[in-house]
Structure 1
Amino acid sequence: MSEAQELLKNLNSNDLAEKKKSIFKIGDLKVKEAIPTLIQLLETDSDSVVRNSAARALGKIADPDQFDTILEALDKALEDPDSYVKANACWSLGKLKDKRAIPSLMKMVDPNQRSYAMVGDPKAQSNTKENEASAKLKEEGIKFSDIIVSAIKAIGNIKDPAGVPALIKGLEDEADGDVRCASAIALGKIGDGSAVLPLIERLKMDKYWYVRRDVAKALAKLKDPRAGPELAKKTNDMYDEVREHSVKALLAIGKPVSNILFKLYLADPKNLKLKKFVTTQLTRDEILQILENLVKNEKNESKRKIYQNYLDKIETQT
């Protein structure tokens, strides 16, 4: 008997540990013949870990010839009472990358999919949902946004602009920074221009540095010059990673924000990436024009003198 045949046999085993181990290995080995049984387990098995493992294995196998059947089963699994089954069904839908999953995934980007538990009481996770949790539980408990985050990541992997409204909704989720981070990264993957202004607003006001960092990463993907002014402000953020990724985003946007990049270069001439941009992407005439504008518009006298001196230096060069 081959290994695959042995694993298929174990799916019907009364030994629960053996069944779970076999499901995991079947997913890794992409045993297509197991798909009907995995779907049956996902729909009917009383053990939540078995259902959870089956949902994930279906995403790993992702047999194109059985997409319709797998998609239908995973879609149904989004109604499973167990949060881990739901989260892994979202993960697997993201692996399938089928646009038909978008409407169901969008429904999962919902605060009511969040649950709470007090420290030392993990069982409460499946019982205390967002709309049932007390103010005390929300403030003092542990948040579980696994379903929401998994759905957001799946939408990002599918890269269908139809999912953008749900991601913008996630970007505005004030209860959990992880949800906002996942939304920003997914919006960057999709690259739809309608996300630019919401991302700029989030960059402007989010209290968590890691959210600002991931928003900057998303804006680097979108390369929209409208983000330039706010990214420029974040090059002075108190956190290194926010500053670093804000500069990277500006460099990704490139020449449309050349005035901002040139100012950053003047402030930090030892920065090799900024220096490379100035020396390889800007002509002498463009630099002169930027400096003339800086001198004209700068209100700080000391900075204006610096710009003027640099302008005079460039003008005297042949």
Structure 2
Amino acid sequence: MSLYQHAREGNVDRLRDALGSDSTAVRKRAVELLGELADGDDQATIDGLLRAATSDEDAAVRGAAVDALDEIGQEALEQLLSELTGGSGSEAEWVTARKFARALEADRAELRIAAANALARLDEPSALPAIVGALSDPDPRVRLRACHACGTFADPRAIPGLIERLDDEPRVRRAAANALGAVGTDRALDPLIDLLEDPDESLRRIAAGALGNASNPKPVEPLARALGDESAIVRNAAVYSVIELLSNVPTEHSHTVRDRVVSELKAADDETVVEPLVEILTEGKQSRQRRNAAWILGRVADPGSEPAVEALAAALDDDDSQTSQFAATSLTNLGGPIVEDRLLDRLGTEHPDDVRAKAVFVLGQVGGQETLNRLEDLTDDESSAVRKRVFSAVSKLRAGGV
């Protein structure tokens, strides 16, 4: 039976037996699965992982065992550190952090790995200088964990060291990019712009996802270029970040950014842009993002795009008044038969009066003869808001020659 099957059945005993295998790959996989399955009360498994972390002949197995102890919990990881450093486990956090920081200078790489993981969990500010120093550790496994820890601290003081790690081996580069994204200042995000053209898809995705946190318009054009990336996950991350940029940039930059966003998005492939915008509008949890998605859709979508029109029509009933207003404006901008059909469907009394009134308003801008006929039947509608919009819309349609 395979290790995977043992893991599926929760057979921890058989996985522990595999720690004594002659195969390095088997021992490493057993360690990883034990980290996923065991909990802090399973001392037999913790003991097995402690032995693997301290005495296995293979460095990759030792490092994986440290990570497995970390995954089980802080107490399991501290058992390893206490065993290697003599800690009592009862000190104040800053005392423990100081001891773990000293462990970052230990000769054994596994101890340094464990210390970096533990300090990330403690999140004790006094340990940051030691973590930053570990970014230049000679062992890439330690540098990787130090990058993760810096991402947890999200402290700007780590920026220079993290930027240096962008030239490291692939896993470390990705961890450094993620950490810079977590710091999130413009100084931290600036180096990520160049990563949008990196051969590593994961790095491009990380960069595209993080740059939406910028507070200036500099990333707009690079993100727009990323909309043509060969990877769908990169393209999707770029659209989300463009929307986030609109939500985050200071007011003095807002108009400039909006103009550049619309210009760049209109030049991109329609489907690439519309699909994530529709997803943001229909499933997004933040009002600012939904507002911006509604606003942009009316300026970059094709009038024949049914997903865009459907999403905007549904947004007329959005709880956020600005989102519903932007949706109405965007539907007016798009116009066309599909918009007319979808809005005519929203004239029935099963819809809220404010939605019907917004639909009438837009129809007054984009409708044809069928719209005029339908609106004339609503001149005696029970809703005063609807009647008011109907009179105005009918007058516009007649004046326009419908």
TM-score with structure 1 setting the length: 0.64
Residue 55 of structure 1 pairs with residue 55 of structure 2: no
Residue 227 of structure 1 pairs with residue 271 of structure 2: no
Residue 196 of structure 1 pairs with residue 220 of structure 2: yes
Cross-structure match for 1:236: 271
What's the CA shift string for 1:79-107, capped at 9, x where partnerless? 11221211110111121121111121112
What's the CA shift string for 1:45-84, capped at 9, x where partnerless? 32x22211211211111123x2xxx222112211112212
Cross-structure match for 2:134: 77
Cross-structure match for 1:217: 240
The separation in 1 between residues aligned to 2:333 and 2:301, in whole angstroms, is: 11
Say if 1:161 and 1:190, in contact at 8 Å, map to a contact too.
yes
Say if 1:231 and 1:246, in contact at 8 Å, map to a contact too.
no
Say if 2:299 and 2:334, in contact at 8 Å, map to a contact too.
no
Cross-structure match for 1:312: 368
The separation in 1 between residues aligned to 2:205 and 2:269, in whole angstroms, is: 17
Residue 86 of structure 1 pairs with residue 143 of structure 2: yes
Structure 1 residue runs of 5 or longer lacking an equivalent are 4-9, 115-144, 293-306
Cross-structure match for 2:325: 281
TM-score with structure 2 setting the length: 0.52
Cα 1:260–1:40 shift into 2, 3 Å: same
Cross-structure match for 2:74: 25
Residue 268 of structure 1 pairs with residue 302 of structure 2: no
Cα 1:249–1:148 shift into 2, 3 Å: same
The separation in 2 between residues aligned to 1:188 and 1:171, in whole angstroms, is: 13
User: 1:314: Cα distance to partner?
Assistant: 8.5
Cross-structure match for 1:171: 196
- How many residue pairs get aligned? The number is 250
Cα 1:51–1:252 shift into 2, 3 Å: farther
Cα 1:150–1:271 shift into 2, 3 Å: same
The separation in 2 between residues aligned to 1:244 and 1:109, in whole angstroms, is: 31
Cα 1:247–1:255 shift into 2, 3 Å: closer
Cα 1:274–1:286 shift into 2, 3 Å: closer
User: 1:283: Cα distance to partner?
Assistant: 8.7
Say if 2:227 and 2:235, in contact at 8 Å, map to a contact too.
yes
What's the CA shift string for 1:13-63, capped at 9, x where partnerless? 9993799588763568994432122112211232x2221121121111112
Q: Secondary structure of 1:44's partner?
A: coil
Residue 40 of structure 1 pairs with residue 134 of structure 2: no
Say if 2:270 and 2:301, in contact at 8 Å, map to a contact too.
no
Cross-structure match for 1:149: 174
Residue 207 of structure 1 pairs with residue 230 of structure 2: yes
Q: CA RMSD in A?
A: 4.0
Partner AA of 2:325 in structure 1: Q
The separation in 2 between residues aligned to 1:25 and 1:108, in whole angstroms, is: 27
Cα 1:286–1:212 shift into 2, 3 Å: closer
The separation in 2 between residues aligned to 1:285 and 1:314, in whole angstroms, is: 21
Q: Secondary structure of 1:236's partner?
A: helix
User: 1:164: Cα distance to partner?
Assistant: 2.3
Say if 2:147 and 2:175, in contact at 8 Å, map to a contact too.
yes
User: 1:315: Cα distance to partner?
Assistant: 7.6
